[in-house]
Amino acid sequence: MALEQTAELSLTHSEPQVQNRLSMVVFSGDMDRLMAAFIIATGAAASGMEVTMFFTFWGLQAIKKRTSTGRSLFGRMLSVFLKDITGVGPSKMNFGGLGRWMFKKMMKAHNVTPLPELRKLAAELGVRMLACQMSMEVMEIRREDLIDEVQDVVGVATFLEEASRSKITLFI
């Protein structure tokens, strides 16, 4: 599959120029890392940068609807553990959900925009949200399991093309 995906890639025959552009791989599905990802993405977009977020593996939780996924036994087992953006917990001190609740409280107390609103803001600011085809297949998540704001389901080649002409590329 890695090879098939690269077939669509065409980095060499063009000369992509570095543009006022930021791209990121959102690999993590932790609440705190997703906060960082969306704060950077919305901050960059608000300042006029072109921003692309490429969601892969656990990061798919950030763009998933609150629905069950999976066809096979394993896929349905995995689905039990996958959350949507309102359900993800922090990478440290989750304590079975207590930490998630506590961080939400603390963010609210200090007027920090919560994750679902940050994602909405990102869409409004024109941040491109792309989903990784291969991880969707492995995790048995279909296009219709993702929110409508997701613009496309793509392979690694698309990410590489974006990143090649970006000033800033992050793996989160």
Q: How far is the CB of 91 from a second copy (least distance, A)?
A: 8
Q: Long-range pairs for 144-150 at CB < 8 Å and ≥24 separation?
A: 145/64, 145/65, 145/67, 145/69, 146/60, 146/63, 146/64, 146/65, 147/63, 147/64, 147/65, 149/63, 149/119, 149/123, 150/55, 150/63
Q: Are strands 50-55 and 128-132 parallel, antiparallel or unpaired?
A: parallel
Q: Nearer to a second copy by C-beta: 68 or 106?
A: 106
Q: How far is the CB of 163 from a second copy (least distance, A)?
A: 5
Q: Nearer to a second copy by C-beta: 86 or 101?
A: 101
CA atoms of 154 and 158, how far apart (whole Å)? 6
Q: Nearer to a second copy by C-beta: 9 or 123?
A: 9
Q: How far is the CB of 123 from a second copy (least distance, A)?
A: 14
Q: Nearer to a second copy by C-beta: 141 or 150?
A: 141
Q: Nearer to a second copy by C-beta: 66 or 106?
A: 106
Q: How far is the CB of 147 from a second copy (least distance, A)?
A: 19
Q: How far is the CB of 156 from a second copy (least distance, A)?
A: 4
